[in-house]
Amino acid sequence: MLRIWGAAPAENATEAIVQAMNVLEELSALRLPQKELDETRYYFRGYAPMLYENVSSAVDQFVKFLSSGVDLPYQEGLLKEIELLTPLSLQNAAKKYLSRDKMTLAVIGSKSTLLPSLSTLGKVTVIRLEEE
């Protein structure tokens, strides 16, 4: 799951979504330089232990992962998986997952204001949260 948070006036929402989707597609075409991948590994090696430095922070991390559907074995092997990444494997994953036809977008706001312009992007399903 990839979450992008932002705020835009209703009249700009569709354009903001299109721009975000364009950036994601551009990212899927890029190959990360080996140096940047190595720097990311160094960061995780230094940062990850701090996420579990005490009982409270460890529980917080477990809850975040579990609430997102990530099980404990995955969490335990995450750093090992990061070590196995290559620029090509990252690019292949980006091509697989950062595709417009695989995206589910959630937009919160007034149906009457947003629906006309959002409909230009494709099928729109309205989920009513409360009375407008």
pLDDT digit string (tens) for 118-130? 888 888 888 887 7
Q: Specify the pTM.
A: 0.61
- The rounded radius of gyration (Å) of the Cα atoms in the chain is 19
Determine the pLDDT at residue 25. 85
Closest by Cα among 127, 129, 120, 110 to 14: 120
Spatial CB neighbours of 113, under 8 Å, sequence gap ≥ 6: 10, 11
Percentage with pLDDT > 70 across the chain: 94
